[in-house]
Structure 1
Amino acid sequence: MQKPFNRKIIYVATLVFVLLIAWLFTGYVRSYLDDEQQTSFFIKKFPTFQLEFVDPFANEGDSPAIADLSTVDRKSLVDYCKYRFGVTSGSDEALDDCAKNIPGYLKQ
């Protein structure tokens, strides 16, 4: 009589495990194109519970210089570059390289 109950526990535990792994390794960033918001999903290079990332270059407008970013925007860019592209350095050069990975449809 205990077997159906044990199968349910195993099924639920497996489902929770798969969802946890998906959450840890999936992220998204929002971009703005033609006055519309678009969401792009990506596979993270490192696990983290953070799902939404900010890319200050993901729009059609003029991109700000790395040196001109506020502390908060720079931290957001460092996180985005680390988890999306595997760039672990927060130097201006590393962030410039990361900024070159702007999606092709946003380049003017």
Structure 2
Amino acid sequence: VFNNYKNKVLNSGLKDFSGGSWSFTIQKSDNADLFYALHRVSTSGTGFMIGNSIMYYLITVHDTFDFAYDNNYDDLFTTTVNNWAWLCQQTHVLNPIEINLSTAIG
């Protein structure tokens, strides 16, 4: 799963990246595990140089693990499970969780 995420980051603008933040959306067709884990993420990164070449990037991903009511999933099972989790969140059985992950890609 991590390699799929790394490829998604690299293909979403990191190759020409020199600093700052960008966001992207993971589609179910990209990777189902990533889609269910990280719908919308905010990503920032810093390139570390040796000489004139960037050798690696320190990438930080921020996301909120929460559920939004959604009837647009492709199948009934996914819609039911998602909306059940949304209902649990509304009744404070589940609570949103802020997630910050950092890793080096090089």
After TM superposition, the score normalised by the length of structure 1 is: 0.23
Bigger fraction of residues in helix: 1
Q: Which structure has the larger Rg?
A: 1
Bigger fraction of residues in strand: 2
After TM superposition, the score normalised by the length of structure 2 is: 0.23
